[in-house]
């Protein structure tokens, strides 16, 4: 794609247009090599290419920006992120799963068993040509490769605010086409929604009742689409899907799960 003009900052820090015709000037053309040239929307970085009969500007890639700015995090939120990163880097293997209650007894059900993973915080993940999201925590296998057996595992810590709708919808789309699992990790619930613990030596468990995988929001072993609701929901509509997660499924599950676990523990 060729561009009608490029934008560059002048001495006053204001953007001005640079047209392809100016590239005939060799001195000016050379000076552009040290300039940041952008398209008209300031989203794509441009480069000058000189051809005597057709000088023009072209793009190699876009300048990606965060899709949505996150609200200010709480101290508890930031503390938990650091704790999860340390926990993940020390755990081997790390088993991710949830508790089931067959016959009223609590049993841990494995979803993933991760070996030789490395973890970091505030990790950026490109979602399209112009945007990226920033996960609170992201883990990846140290082995070269990305498959279902060794997926990328992100953790979004929820304290005072849930994942915003725009990011949630993009993340859900990404998991449909990539081996990516996004755990929604709640700080409230007294450990009965999420918790982490070592089981033997460095072996550890991460409780994840809620996660996004394969294009769906999951509650334990069920996709949201498989759950029963008191009213009809159009799961093909992104707004309805998000509202079901927020208002219907998460809140009701939290109430029922805590009651069920309290009964199993008593």
Q: Spell out the residues 6+ positions from residue 230 whose beta carbon is closer than 8 angstroms to its own.
A: none
Q: Report the pLDDT value the prediction gives residue 159, as an integer from 0 to 100.
A: 86
β-bridge pairing 107-114 and 216-219: unpaired
What stretch of H or E contains 176?
helix 165-177
| Domain layout of the chain by residue ranges | 2-63, 75-265
Instruction: Kindly state the DSSP code that residue 70 receives in the 8-state scheme.
Output: P
Q: How far is CA 89 from CA 84, 133, 204, 207, in A?
A: 8, 22, 11, 16
> Model-level pTM?
0.76
Q: Report the pLDDT value the prediction gives residue 148, as an integer from 0 to 100.
A: 84
**CA 184 – CA 250 distance, rounded (Å):** 11
pLDDT tens for the 266 residues of the chain, in order: 679 999 999 989 999 999 999 999 999 999 999 999 999 888 788 999 999 999 999 988 766 777 777 777 789 999 999 999 999 999 999 999 998 887 778 889 999 999 999 999 999 888 887 788 999 999 999 998 888 889 999 999 988 888 999 999 999 999 999 999 999 998 877 777 789 999 999 999 999 989 999 999 998 889 999 887 777 889 999 999 998 898 765 665 555 554 555 555 55
Q: Report the pLDDT value the prediction gives residue 160, as an integer from 0 to 100.
A: 80
**CA 112 – CA 219 distance, rounded (Å):** 15
Q: Spell out the residues 6+ positions from residue 136 whose beta carbon is closer than 8 angstroms to its own.
A: 77, 81, 84, 121, 122, 154, 155, 156, 157
Decide if 221 contacts 98 (C-beta within 8 A).
Answer: yes
Written in H, E and C, the secondary structure of 105-117 is: CCEEEEEEEECCE
């Amino acid at each position: 794609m060729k561009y009608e003009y490029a934008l560059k900052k002048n001495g006053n820090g204001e953007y001005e247009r640079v047209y392809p015709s100016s590239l005939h000037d060799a001195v000016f053309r050379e000076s552009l090599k040290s300039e940041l040239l952008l398209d008209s929307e300031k989203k794509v970085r441009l480069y000058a290419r000189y051809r005597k009969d057709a000088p023009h500007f072209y793009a190699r890639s876009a300048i990606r920006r965060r899709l949505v700015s996150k609200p200010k995090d709480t101290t508890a939120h930031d503390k938990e992120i650091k704790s999860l990163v340390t926990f993940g880097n020390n755990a081997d293997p790390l088993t991710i799963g949830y508790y089931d209650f067959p016959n009223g007894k609590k049993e841990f059900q494995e979803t993933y068993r991760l070996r030789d993973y490395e973890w970091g915080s505030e990790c950026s993940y490109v979602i399209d040509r112009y945007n990226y999201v920033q996960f609170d925590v992201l883990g990846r296998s140290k082995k070269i490769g990305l498959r279902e057996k060794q997926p990328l595992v992100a953790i979004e810590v929820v304290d005072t605010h849930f994942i915003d709708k725009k990011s949630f919808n993009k993340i859900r789309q990404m998991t449909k086409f990539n081996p990516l699992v996004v755990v929604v990790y709640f700080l409230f619930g007294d450990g009965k929604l999420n918790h982490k613990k070592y089981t033997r030596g460095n072996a550890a468990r991460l409780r994840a009742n809620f996660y996004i995988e394969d294009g769906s929001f999951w509650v334990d072993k069920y996709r949201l689409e498989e759950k029963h609701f008191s009213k009809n929901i159009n799961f093909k509509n992104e707004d309805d899907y998000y509202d079901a997660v927020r208002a219907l499924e998460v809140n009701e599950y939290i109430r029922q799960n805590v009651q069920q676990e309290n009964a199993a523990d008593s």
